[in-house]
Structure 1
Amino acid sequence: MEVQFTLNGKKVSTKIAADTVLLNLLRDLGCKSVKCGCETTNCGLCTVWIDGKSRLSCSVLAASIDGHEVTTLEGVEKEAAEFGSFLAQEGAEQCGFCSPGFIMNVLAMFRELKNPSIEEIKEYLAGNLCRCTGYMGQLRAIQKYMEVRNTAVNITVKKMGGEE
């Protein structure tokens, strides 16, 4: 069967078997940031965005993305690098194996939640497992990133004559 979708802003048309999992298709298409860590939808390493919403690509049949938009870490490199610098400043970046899925969820959370509390951040990211770090450095990095990004957004809105 053939699927056509948008991957990181580019149109893709490819043949797949009916039982192909999105995780495997994305890796075959060169998106090496999408990783398999558990095969049970428990670790978050395979997180991608489908039409802007976080999804675990290991639990999605590739046939179901026909006509949809898929974004991987490769498609948000600039934002990912910016947040990655906040992780590094907090000493929360270790081996990097879980980072792509974690970063995809943090960026999605930034787009969905306005000024989330620590508890809301923890709940949003509950499905992302990290075996190298304690989560406190990651939480500090998230809070600082969101503070800086929200300030930048507010400044831009003011310059454009809008309201906060």
Structure 2
Amino acid sequence: MEKINPEETLVIVTADHSHVFTMAGYPTRGNDILGKVIGNDSRGEPLTDYATDSNGLPYTTLGYANGPGYIPGDRPDLTSVDTAAPDYRQEATIPKRSETHAGEDVAIYAGGPGASLLHGVQEQNVIYHIIAEALKKTGHVEHSGEHGKGRR
């Protein structure tokens, strides 16, 4: 960022896809992200026991829709499992050797000329047009040369 002029450079940070990773379970504020979910009472105060699924088993905040963490059969009882251990695999609902990309919208952050146009949900092709507009505003439009190389 030290090598750019923020007055004339549109900087965009985004991703090309999401993953099937999720955070769920209404954990209390400060709940260990790698730990099992501890919920809140009706006043919003942390409970003393783990939150449980419909089978009465505790679950983690983190999970995957697919991946190597799939466990066939009934879910294991995680009460005494160290879910923060480096070798613990978060549970997955569909068995796969590795988890896959997903289709959710991804965040986009921007600063510089045209950044105000990047907000909310946008079709990915709109981002191209915003970049093209920013290039026009700053006078940095490149024209295609004979072999596709840019020139001013």
Q: Same fold by TM-score, threshold 0.5 exceeded? A: no
TM-score when normalising by structure 2: 0.19
Higher-RCO chain (CA-CA 8 Å, sequence separation at least 6): 2
Larger strand proportion of the pair: 2
- In terms of fraction of residues, the more helix-rich structure is 1
**TM-score (ref. length: structure 1):** 0.18
Higher Cα Rg, which structure:
2
